Structure 1
Amino acid sequence: MAISSEPRLGASTNGDLVNRVQQLRLDGQLGAGKNSRGGGGALLPWVLCGLLAVTWAGVGVRSYKNAGQKADDTASAPQGTAPAASSTNTPQPAGPSAVAEGELVTQLKGNVIPSLQITVSPRDVAAEITEIFFAEGKRVKRGDKIATLLDHLYVNRLNTEVASVAAAEAQVTRAQASQTSVAAKVAKAKSALAAAEARGTRATAMQERAGKDFDQARQQRASGSIALLDYQRFDADKQAADADKIAATADIEAAKREVEAAEAEVKTAVASTKAATADLGAAKARCAEAQRLVENCVVTAPIDGTILTKSADKGALVSPNSFNVAAGICLIADLSKLEVEIDVPERQITRLKSGQSCKLQADADPTREYRGVVDRVMPIADDTKNVVKVRIRAYLKKGEQQGEFLKPKMSITATVYNTPFTFDPSKDLPWGDEATRK
């Protein structure tokens, strides 16, 4: 029975490849002598097989990557819309396609976050918590007591500063009394100066009169019309008047020096009064600061809101200025003003604009829908995921209590439409700034 030399119909591609490789063997063509020199020709088929295997592996990896990229593009398309058909003959636009008025822009998952969220901690005081007046989920008003701290240190400091204020006030009173006393001394010195000047004026007048009488007596003595005794009396009166004048002048100078000294003491007293007043002001400032620290030992709610988490309990040490000690007591947020944060792929970000209306559905109850509006596109992208975060303002339903259903960190499906949002006071719980929003 003859065996056909034709290849069988079911022969595999690998068999044809082996046959072709065998045909490439150069043993017979190159001669046995070459085999005997080291068998180098036997390695050539294996080298060719290796090259072919590497080539086919590269083609397979490239096909797998292309298929994954197409799957990602399909997954990023908005829900409810079919992916655009590709054609090698139809040119595609470089940017994102325009969205008509009222059409769906995108549908993405996000999370609820409070618009206003504050970590409550003591202000500038570090102490042990003595009482806690809240629990998770409790609603508080601004100014409500949250916790109290051990205030012994700050009360003692306040008492010290109160005593310092009293001492500074006494010092001011003493300085003012000294200033009054010195002012009286200045007045007395000026009075003494006035009296000395009056005596000096009188002594001057007496000196002039005695001088004239002496000159007349000297002329009369020369003519012999006056006795020697009378002449000597006029001479003695003139010398006494000259002496009185000298004494009066000395008294005036001494009185002037006393006035100057008293005025210098007044300046010193005024400066002392100012210094004492400044010390009093500083003592009062320290006392006010100590009073503030004592008051800060009572921690109050900074806003109207709901307690989300408790960070510390009674007996814990809290310090806002330490890295090794807890700083916060609790986390409080206003649950009447919630936002949804979504991650929008960069290639879709130009399709979202502030003011577009949104439909918000929580995974907890997809049948319960909320109205929302695109509030703002964050100014920085996330380069690890190639997305840009977008904040959507959520409007609670009219009459719904805050925190009743929507809660922070809930998963939300946000559907954005290319339709301008209009606030409806009959349906939406207002944020309070609708009149100023553009």
Structure 2
Amino acid sequence: MLTLCDRVPEDISGNIMLDWTKEVVVTGFKGSFEGTQDDVSSVIIDELQKVDVENRILLLIKLDASYEEVMKKIPELFTEHQEFVLHLASYSEQNKTTIFIEQKAFMSGYTKPDKNEFIPEGNRVKSESKEQELVTKVNVDDLVKELTEKCGLNGQKYGGLTVEKSEDPGRFIEGYTYFLSLDANPSSRLLVKIPAFQGECTKEAVASPECIGDVADMLTMCNRMRVDTNYTRDVVVTGFDTPFEDFDENPSAVVVDELMKIPIENVKIFPHKIPVAYEAVTEKLPELRKNCPDDVLHLATHSVRNTIYFQQKAFSHGYCREDINGYVPEGNKIEDEDEEEEQKKLKPFVDFDYLVEEVTEKCGLDGERYGGLKVEKSDDPGRFVGGYLYYLSIREGPVNTLYINVPPFEGECTKEAVANVIREVIRFLTRNDF
């Protein structure tokens, strides 16, 4: 399984980089709500300001309860922040003390005017999405169960406060916001609807680290955020299309082609072939991430026979080898890294021992099959274009990212055999926690 998120990247000496934090954007709505002085979600935002969570940054935002505000602010928000987003909204139902975690958002049906008497054109979300409904990839059933157990919400605590899954976010501003959010990235977005405070169901109880505060924390805890396997996972796979040594075709590009011949259940692969050039990978990276994939897999070729390497680290400095254009990065370092700083290394959140064990077993790599093909972990991705891309990709965060060196094809170590192993790696990444 993927390791816990508190296994943060380390510097070159193995010390934890304490500034590697995860950002959680939390939105609420300001203004009054159905007779109350302040919207409940706004009050919770104020309470969350009092919460201090280690290695977490809570970016708390209050939005005007208007469609125009949401249409303007939400896209701007995702341009700057691509990690975890928790939307809070109020609802009114007399004597109801239930927190609803919404699973779906809908494109149309927005007929209720906002405070400015504005109604969206066509009663629809302003989006290029072709889907009528979007579903979060967070496993809401598991989240509800864990919150209920951890917080002891047995119907008596906090005035009978409970947590439930819902598939009806409403067709008002909060539902409109949620659709825009899921359209940007369904993997780490949630809408939570909060009841009015009454009796023991207080603002402090709802905003406590055991309740809403814990939902925000859960979004960043990889070991506790389980993705529902019924959803299709989007996986970006890259290879290099520049010839390798005596091969007319680069084996990494050949493997990318092979992967597309046999579908993987609940996985959609987005293949990319990139020239072996530093500027090419730098320019390509935004395209690789623009649709917020769940996993990113970078393939490159090495000359070690019958061995596939899973690279555990990426390095910031040392790129002195010329690419196909004769170019070397300025200062022999990753773009935007301080030349005066000591070399950094980044690590993906992958349990490599378990990955090697699982793939070896699943593929039957007993030392004889596929001409003795084996998989191993490695700490040396090289200081060339592939390693350069790996560092950039991990730094981009927050999705699973892995760099793999594949061998040249010879004898029983065929392109089909290598592709079968890479398919199992993809299954491993997509069936384990994000």
Q: Which has the higher contact order (CA 8 A, sep 6+)?
A: 1
Rg larger for: 1
State the TM-score, normalized to the length of structure 1. Answer: 0.15
Greater helix fraction, Structure 1 or Structure 2: 1
